[in-house]
Amino acid sequence: MAKKKNYIFNPRTLLYEVERRSRRSRVLKSLALFASSLGLAVLYFWIYTSVLGFELPKTLLLKKTNAGLTSRVEVLNRQLDRYDNILTDLQMRDDGIYRSIFGMNEIPGDIRNAGFGGVNRYAHYSNGPLKSTAIRLDILTKKTYIQSKSFDEIAHLSKRAGDMASCIPAIPPVVPDTRIYRLSSRFGYRKDPFSGRTKNHTGVDFAMKPGNPIYATGDGIVTNVKFELFGYGNQVVIDHGFGYKTRYAHMKTIGVVEGMKVKRGECIGLSGNSGRSSGPHLHYEVIYKDRHVNPANYYDLTITPEEYATMVQNTADASQKITLHPSHRKRRK
């Protein structure tokens, strides 16, 4: 095919001659054509997107993909909300019931709700819902792990439920016979018999004549035996496990030693008037998780002496079986 030629009229020769263009003019004409095409394209996109309000196909595809991912993240967050509520209920039941029953301390909130360490752990996420969801998922995973370990501990302790029942201080420390004792001071705030000031009384006082047998109110290990001239006087502390301890103070004689295992109803000594005391009595305390609690919540003083006798060992001749601590024997000589 022959190349197309352009002709122009020459007024001098009055003839049509072939137009001859320089290379520069051809280049300028090509650049002008390219610039015009580019301008028209920009004008087209501007009218298409800004004036008519349409979006580019690629933008529409990206938005559709993003909408699908956002919807999945929202569904995942709703599931996490449901799982978090269920786990919170389990935690409340765990701390308020299960761990409390077995004398276990509550798991601190900063341990339950702690996330995973590391500054760069979420560096590959941009700030947005996906990053926050990833953090929530990690926290929920750790909370679930901690709760699972807690249930493992409770399951292990539940196998010792029978031991726990015998360890809780659930009987009075003296025979509940009102001919033998009277409650001279209850748990709570009272007027101090020495200073006259209002002070918190951390136990219960059983006023009685010296020499009445005192019984361990639950199975445990004697962790502290003291013979003092002031304060609690002659006293015994028994660790019952499961968060429980009991103290028996102002005793006359002590029949146990530190490290000795005792059973509920076993006689541990005789009542007296030792230490800082306004009269012969037994000062009895119940300590749960290192806090003094009301002993009256654990025993029943309305049972008969006969019923009480079935729960203690050799009640009738308990006073004859008292063995004095060696240091107390030396003191009495």
Give DSSP secondary structure letters for 99-167: HHHTTPPPPPHHHHT-----GGGGTTSPTTHHHHHHHHHHHHHHHHHHHHHHHHHHHHHHTTHHHHHHH
Report DSSP state, residue 49. Answer: I
pLDDT-derived band at 209 (thresholds 50, 70, 90) equals very high
Does residue 302 sit in the same domain as residue 180? Answer: yes
247 part of a folded domain: yes
207 part of a folded domain: yes
Q: What is the pLDDT of residue 286?
A: 95
Does residue 108 sit in the same domain as residue 66? Answer: yes
72 part of a folded domain: yes
Does residue 123 sit in the same domain as residue 220? Answer: no
Q: How far apart are CA 119 and CA 326, in angstroms?
A: 62
pLDDT-derived band at 14 (thresholds 50, 70, 90) equals confident
42 part of a folded domain: no
pLDDT-derived band at 52 (thresholds 50, 70, 90) equals low
Does residue 270 sit in the same domain as residue 122? Answer: no
Q: What are phi and psi of 265, to 5 degrees?
A: 90, 0
165 part of a folded domain: no
Does residue 205 sit in the same domain as residue 267? Answer: yes
Does residue 198 sit in the same domain as residue 291? Answer: yes
pLDDT at 11 over 70: yes
pLDDT at 162 over 60: yes
Kindly state the tokens that stand for 16. Answer: 């049509």
Say how many domains are in the chain.
Answer: 2
Does residue 155 sit in the same domain as residue 253? Answer: no
The parent domain of residue 203 ranges over 171-332
Once rounded to an integer, what is the mean pLDDT over residues 71-83? 87
Between 4 and 65, the higher pLDDT residue: 65
Does residue 100 sit in the same domain as residue 183? Answer: no
Residues 6+ apart with CB under 8 A from 229: 274, 275
Q: What is the pLDDT of residue 323?
A: 40
Does residue 237 sit in the same domain as residue 204? Answer: yes
pLDDT at 168 over 60: yes
pLDDT-derived band at 318 (thresholds 50, 70, 90) equals very low
CATH code of 257's domain: 2.70.70.10
Picking from 150-164, 194-208, 254-268, which range would have the lowest pLDDT averaged per residue?
A: 150-164
Once rounded to an integer, what is the mean pLDDT over residues 98-109? 76
CB 218 within 8 A of CB 264: yes
Final residue of a structural domain among 159, 194, 214:
159
13 part of a folded domain: no
Final residue of a structural domain among 159, 180, 198:
159
Does residue 219 sit in the same domain as residue 121? Answer: no
pTM score above 0.75: no
Once rounded to an integer, what is the mean pLDDT over residues 124-147? 83
Q: What is the pLDDT of residue 37?
A: 83
Kindly state the tokens that stand for 277. Answer: 């005391």
| Percent with pLDDT over 70 in the chain | 84
Final residue of a structural domain among 110, 133, 159:
159
Q: What is the pLDDT of residue 332?
A: 40
Once rounded to an integer, what is the mean pLDDT over residues 109-133? 73
pLDDT at 208 over 60: yes
Q: What is the pLDDT of residue 140?
A: 87
22 part of a folded domain: no
116 part of a folded domain: yes
Between 56 and 279, the higher pLDDT residue: 279
Q: What is the pLDDT of residue 59?
A: 74
- For 28-58, give one letter per residue: b (16+ CB within 10 A) or e: eeeeeeeeeeeeeeeeeeeeeeeeeeeeeee
Between 239 and 92, the higher pLDDT residue: 239
Q: What is the pLDDT of residue 315?
A: 40
Quote the crossing angle between the two packed helices 129-158 and 57-93, to the nearest 10°.
20
pLDDT at 261 over 80: yes
pLDDT at 319 over 50: no
Does residue 188 sit in the same domain as residue 266? Answer: yes
Does residue 320 sit in the same domain as residue 230? Answer: yes
Between 209 and 88, the higher pLDDT residue: 209
pLDDT-derived band at 328 (thresholds 50, 70, 90) equals very low
Once rounded to an integer, what is the mean pLDDT over residues 253-282? 93
Between 54 and 328, the higher pLDDT residue: 54
